[in-house]
Amino acid sequence: MTERATVVIIGAGPAGLVLGNLLVSQGIGTLILERSSRDHVQSSSRAGFFGANSARVLAEHGLDFRLALAGRAHDTCTFRHSDGDFTLNYGELGRGETHVLYPQHELVADLIGEYLRRGGRIRFGAKVTDVDASTATARYEDAFGADEVTGVFLAGCDGGYGASRHAIPASHAVHLGRDHGIVWLAVLAEAPQSSPAITYAIHDDGFAGHMARSASVTRYYLQIPSDDTLNAWPDERIWTELGVRMYVERFGPLCTGPIVDRRAVHLRSNIVDPIQHGRMFLVGDAASLISPAAAKGANLAIMEAEFLANAMIDALKNDDESALAGYSRTCLRRIWRAQEFSHWMIDLLAAPRGCGPDVGFRRALRRARLDSLRDSRAHQHFFAENYVGV
């Protein structure tokens, strides 16, 4: 028998959970299908920098109860290079906005708890195998066998490789993308932060980055050759290379500790246009994959979820689908602006590889960008406005 829900949501990440919470708070029945276990989605470490608009959405809808207590305001970033460093207090630039630092997996746990408290339904361990956008139907398999659920609308929040994105026929969508040919080794260390600021180190051997996650956990990034394996990067080599690229001889040692997670992040960008088809709407990574260079992924997802929730409420309660009709057009403008800034950050941070005739030219361009960011107040205001949010 086909189960029914007014809105079917595929995926229990920030996109699906914010959307679900906003809908159930207005009495709209939802069902979230999530392929992983609850423990897994609540413990998977991800980025945790939330911009001003994301913080506003969470606060306005009563979803920031723990973030407001445990989140830390963050307003500075430092750029290191071979000749020195400079720090930008971006909270005093642009629109005067700051980030809130709060681990994403903890936000996911908060959102799940609140969604269930508000009466929402969620099915963990449900692998979606097929999506029919015309009827807002999702077919899935779980421990009890195969089943399906149909709604008035369906929201695909299951990432760039989920079933929702593939439900838009090739004849109805354009996939635009770029492989940057750059790989970052993302490392999570049980170590206190080595600097009070986010630190970007510009080095000819490759980018290195330092981003605090909590008082005792720090995220580091290292640009590595695209054909390297994780086994090629034991702990000792990671800390040695971080020391070189972050210029510890000049700026002091790093706080070290056990490395509890490492993964290779391939910098790729991909966008579906349009991000709606029939009764289905794509949200978050399902709509657009973006590199982590500017911490835009979760923030875009939250903004898209808010817009879609309001549009669905208008359609279901006021019989007005005009906002839904413009969902793709409105959100793609934001997505492309975030993509443009992310690409600018990649060009600034990543060291050109190889020994081709243009490598020296590209390195000189990168240094010119860095000098402009250091010296130009107008450039700093532009950076701050785009860095914190779209």
Reduced to 3 states, what is the DSSP secondary structure of residue 208? strand
From 74, 81, 99, 210, the catalytic residue: 74
Residue 324 CA to residue 344 CA, distance in Å, equals 31
Rounded Cα distance, 187 and 383, in Å: 26
Nearest to 79 by CA among 209, 192, 241, 205: 209
Asked if 387 is an active-site residue, the reply is yes
Residue of 56, 10, 252, 27 whose CA lies nearest to 151? 10
Give which of 335, 213, 342, 340 is closest to 285, Cα–Cα.
335
| Residue recorded with tokens 């010296």 | 375
Does the annotation count 296 as an active-site position?
Answer: yes
3-state SS, residue 123: strand
* Amino acid present at 49: F
Q: Which two tokens stand for residue 40?
A: 């897994």
The Cβ of residue 252 has, within 10 Å, a number of other Cβ atoms equal to 11
Q: Which of 14, 103, 292, 352 is catalytic?
A: 292
Q: Which of 115, 200, 220, 247 is catalytic?
A: 200
Catalytic site residue from 99, 296, 327, 343: 296
- Alpha carbon of 53 to those of 45, 107, 122, 331, 385: distances in Å? 22, 15, 26, 14, 12
Cα dihedral 194, 198, 202, 206 sign? positive
292 is catalytic: yes
Alpha helices in 163-247 (DSSP H): 163-166, 235-245
Read out DSSP for 37-61? -HHHHTT-----EE-HHHHHHHHHT
Helix intervals (H) in 118-260 = 163-166, 235-245, 248-251
Catalytic residue numbers read: 74, 200, 292, 296, 387
